[in-house]
Structure 1
Amino acid sequence: MTLLVKALSTLALMLAIGGSALAQEYVKGEVIKVDAKQKKLTIKHEPLTNLDMPAMTMVFVVAEGGMLEKVKAGQAIEFTADRVNGRITVTGIK
């Protein structure tokens, strides 16, 4: 019985840690350039705390090509970014 309790406790802890990692904060930024052919956005952004990055202007790939249709150069956005397959990727835009 104690093995079952330990296993369930471990599972609950893993879910709690994993759930907090999925809850990303949106960061303010400005779209500088949209490269639809390469599926990339250049964004001047505030610090990305989840990636431990200071504010800067950088090029991101986008998780989904449809995101590029939502934005244009000069537009203020709020977005999330994360490492996906080793590349820093925009994962959400609002």
Structure 2
Amino acid sequence: KYVAVSYAWGASTSNFTSIRVDGYKYIITAKHVAAALRMLRSQHEPVYVWLDCVCINQADNTERGHQVSLMKDVFTQASKVVIWLG
């Protein structure tokens, strides 16, 4: 079970931050996405979150194209979908 998050991409500027997931550092190009992750986390149990900017290699056009075709399934199979407006 996981939460899928939909959000507006916005312009990629110097407005970025980083997060750590299982010891790995990820650059998040919009601080409002990091805010969504902070809101979704739980102190009591793991919360599995699907975010395209973390779960899809945005630098690999082939992977990105393939994964975009699967996004309908990602969202329909999620236990919860969150629309993050920032």
Answer yes or no: same fold by TM over 0.5.
Answer: no
Q: Which has the higher contact order (CA 8 A, sep 6+)?
A: 2
Taking structure 2 as the reference length, the TM-score comes to 0.32
Taking structure 1 as the reference length, the TM-score comes to 0.30
Query: Which has more strand, going by share of residues?
Result: 1
